[in-house]
Structure 1
Amino acid sequence: MSQDSADDIVPAPRKGRGAATNRTGRYEALHKEAVDDGWPGSGESRPPLRTQLGIDAARRVISRNDSPDVAFELSVNPYRGCEHGCSYCFARPTHAYLGLSPGLDFETRLFHKPDAPTRLADELAHPDYVCSPIALGINTDAYQPVERRTELTRSLLEVCLAYRQPISIVTKSALVERDADLLSEMAGLGLAQVFFSVTTLDGTLARALEPRASAPKRRLEAMSRLSAAGVPSGVLFAPVIPALNDHEMEQVLHAAAEAGASGAGYVMLRLPREVKPLFTEWLQAHAPGRAEHVLSLLRQMHGGREYEAEFGVRMRGRGVFADLVAQRFRAARRREGLDRGLPPLETGHFSVPPRSGDQLSLL
């Protein structure tokens, strides 16, 4: 093997997975690196990786956010890691806190919080709690495939309905249709809204970018059904990947408007920490002819780097290309009638229902 061949090796994608490797997390003492040793059979296909589901015991489930880049203060994430396998997922680096890889571990070694509904009810009932909309599954998708068997997100919705707690959901999964009954009832009280993240309308590209997420067509169908059930719905064109999917912005917003969306947003591709090398591997494997162009445009938007963590810049970028994307988005949103936005969530209905063992209030 030549001296620099190790840097030239393009990891082969794993079937049904987004990351090509299991890059070592930044907190681990030892770093592992796979190399091609030249022996026969080293390039043979590997068996599919099975998803493992562990338990994440948490004393509290409501997280508080102070970032000016997002429109919510509170969030609840029933899962750590995400089986959707989105190669660009900004949450991947969080798996390093668990001593696991932000690569394949992030999408195959998941953790759920089975006691999250009980913990949420306790926190909502606390005398110091002040009602504010909760973003459900904002870090990793609350409707990822394992939700089919755990029904953890549905249990959380049941708690929110009982307390009249408003929630906002962002998902890439048509599984959210399953809970149309709860969401419709909540929406009737101004307590629920759902945003669908749609990265592309190209099924082949979506399968490579987001291998275990619902197909774009199914997301739009789910949006249509929820909208018909009275659930305010919106679309997020996210992430915008320069030179790969940015040309689809207008098509995605048009398709979402036809499916009943009343609001839209977008987020530029973010490559924090371990996401950068993982997504670079994805580009080299799936779009080698565009890889350098994609990275070059990112550097143009971030002062010569592929990513900036600065508030106000990290999700939009700056410069000529970023400004052009913003102008195109505003024009398409206005043209499709998506600038009216979703109705605000209602916090005035919040109340703590009586629970077993509570004393009766004096009349």
Structure 2
Amino acid sequence: MKAEVISLGCRLNIAESEQIRTLLANESDVVVVNSCAVTSAAVRQTRQAIRQARRARPDARLLVTGCAAEIEREALAAMPEVDGLIANTAKLDPRAWNVPAQPLPVRSEKHTRAFIAVQNGCDHACTFCVIPQGRGDSRSLTVAQVLHEVERHLDLGAKEVVLTGVDVTSWGHDLAALPKLGELVRQVLDTFPQLARLRMSSLDGIEVDGDLFELFAHHPRVMPHIHLSLQHGHDLILKRMKRRHSRADAVELVSRLKEARPEIAIGGDLIAGFPTETHVHHTANLSIIEELEIVHGHIFPYSPRPGTPAARMPQVDGRAIRARAADLRACVARMRQRWLEQQVGKPQVILAEADGCGYSESYARVAAPAGTPTGSIVTVTPSQLDKGLLI
């Protein structure tokens, strides 16, 4: 059987998994688990994926890479199912897999959009986060490298490109002349007028530069969908997290975006039950969902990660954390339901996928007309909403 790559976690891992898959295209009887360690639950999912992969492919060589392979190295190496670990920093190097060097992949067979990792690592020190231990310092692709990758994707027929990374808005901080992310996005759009859709992965709102804001606000090929790394809705908790923005900063950014582009859909990452969080803090976390009208929410129950300052802070009871996470998810679900109901009867431009559905420009899930070719962009007007899907 051909090599199999199982991807867990973030969009950056998805992009890297596609590169690993191509590196191993001529290999057989190999299974790679590209792991995640952002939370303790993510580590549990990694271990479960390893066990499931071993049961499904008992004779294959099972290798683990990704953030958990760095942060939980000894524990994963001790699992009887695991044959070896590949360092996270080396996983895109053909030498790490003992295969010949070859061009990196540019498009997933399973996805209609292409994920391009323009940046990796992180220079910040959020008190809850273990990812810098697994990814290292922030480092950026050059403009030329990014343009080369976009060109490859387009040559294979990609219609949408997603620029991704660990801390995407820090792109350029390590390059000569210190370019901002907005400059990179504008160069991509200007160089490739045939690129139909450009989307961004999670952004640190405090680092959204003026050029990037203008592109989100006015450029028709930059999708009206922004996902912000908010983490919390109360200033004291944000300070204890060592985040660089305040609640007011997030509100002001979203307000300006919505004033310029009313149809923009807001997403956000929020942590429930951060150490020292009180009911008052939790109420602020709930209210920012409503104030920003977050319709694409990623809710993370806090879990202490090894070696982080937050792990040494007074912890919230686990039952309270789970209950607060459920509150946040329910609040996002209400906002999302209301937003989806408002999309009924409005034309939606979707990128069709192999499962017969597609994503609108604002990232709503929409059923495609029967027979729509995968990868085509079509306009449909949904007449009903059924279990989160516009029909």
Which of 345, 351, 355 lines up with 2:361 in the alignment? Answer: 345
Q: Which runs of 5+ in 2 are unaligned?
A: 1-68, 75-91, 94-101, 349-359, 363-374, 379-391
Matched, 1:87 2:137: no
Measured in 2, the distance between the counterparts of 1:123 and 1:129 equals 9
Match of 2:60 in 1: none
TM-score (norm 1): 0.53
Q: What does 1:175-190 align with in structure 2 at a 5 Å threshold?
A: 175-178=207-210, 179-186=212-219, 188-189=220-221
Q: What is the RMSD computed on CA atoms of the aligned residues?
A: 4.2
TM-score (norm 2): 0.50
Q: 1:156 to 1:141 in 2, by over 3 A?
A: same
- Greater strand share, structure number: 2
Measured in 1, the distance between the counterparts of 2:342 and 2:198 equals 17
Match of 2:259 in 1: 228
Match of 1:204 in 2: 236
Q: What does 1:40-59 align with in structure 2 at a 5 Å threshold?
A: none
Measured in 2, the distance between the counterparts of 1:84 and 1:224 equals 26
Q: 1:80 to 1:59 in 2, by over 3 A?
A: farther
Which of 255, 268, 292 lines up with 1:256 in the alignment? Answer: 292
Of structures 1 and 2, the one scoring higher in RCO (CA 8 A, sep 6+) is 1
Q: What does 1:21-40 align with in structure 2 at a 5 Å threshold?
A: 25-26=70-71
Which of 116, 122, 139 lines up with 1:111 in the alignment? Answer: 139
Deviations 1:155-203 (A, max 9, x none): 13431453233313421223325123333343x3573421223222322
Amino acid at match of 1:239: I
On the 8 A contact 2:107/2:153 being kept in 1, the answer is: no
SS of aligned partner of 2:168 = coil
On the 8 A contact 1:166/1:192 being kept in 2, the answer is: no
Measured in 1, the distance between the counterparts of 2:273 and 2:152 equals 38
On the 8 A contact 1:196/1:236 being kept in 2, the answer is: yes
Q: What does 1:1-363 align with in structure 2 at a 5 Å threshold?
A: 25-26=70-71, 60=104, 74-89=114-129, 91-92=131-132, 94-95=134-135, 106=136, 109-114=137-142, 115-126=144-155, 128-131=156-159, 133-137=160-164, 139-144=165-170, 147=173, 149-152=178-181, 154-160=183-189, 162=193, 163-178=195-210, 179-186=212-219, 188-189=220-221, 191-211=223-243, 213-230=244-261, 232-241=264-273, 244=277, 246-257=282-293, 263-269=295-301, 276-279=305-308, 281-284=309-312, 287-288=313-314, 291=315, 293-294=316-317, 296-297=318-319, 323-331=326-334, 337-338=338-339, 344-345=360-361
On the 8 A contact 1:238/1:268 being kept in 2, the answer is: yes
Deviations 1:95-129 (A, max 9, x none): 2xxxxxxxxxx4xx321111433223322332x23
Deviations 1:115-151 (A, max 9, x none): 433223322332x2332x43323x4122138559232
Report deviation, 1:256. 0.8
On the 8 A contact 2:130/2:306 being kept in 1, the answer is: no
Residues paired across the two proteins, number? 245
On the 8 A contact 2:118/2:168 being kept in 1, the answer is: yes
Q: Which runs of 5+ in 1 are unaligned?
A: 1-23, 30-55, 96-105, 302-319, 351-363
Q: Identity across aligned pairs (percent)?
A: 9
Report deviation, 1:252. 0.8
Q: 1:215 to 1:74 in 2, by over 3 A?
A: farther
Match of 2:29 in 1: none
Q: 1:248 to 1:116 in 2, by over 3 A?
A: farther
Deviations 1:189-241 (A, max 9, x none): 57342122322232232133143x33332222122222222271403142333
Report deviation, 1:277. 0.9
Amino acid at match of 2:169: Y
Amino acid at match of 2:246: A
Q: 1:208 to 1:91 in 2, by over 3 A?
A: same
Deviations 1:1-35 (A, max 9, x none): xxxxxxxxxxxxxxxxxxxxxxx955989xxxxxx
On the 8 A contact 1:183/1:192 being kept in 2, the answer is: yes
SS of aligned partner of 1:282 = helix
Measured in 2, the distance between the counterparts of 1:202 and 1:174 equals 16
Measured in 2, the distance between the counterparts of 1:143 and 1:325 equals 26
SS of aligned partner of 1:239 = strand
Q: 1:331 to 1:184 in 2, by over 3 A?
A: closer
Amino acid at match of 1:208: R
On the 8 A contact 1:169/1:195 being kept in 2, the answer is: yes
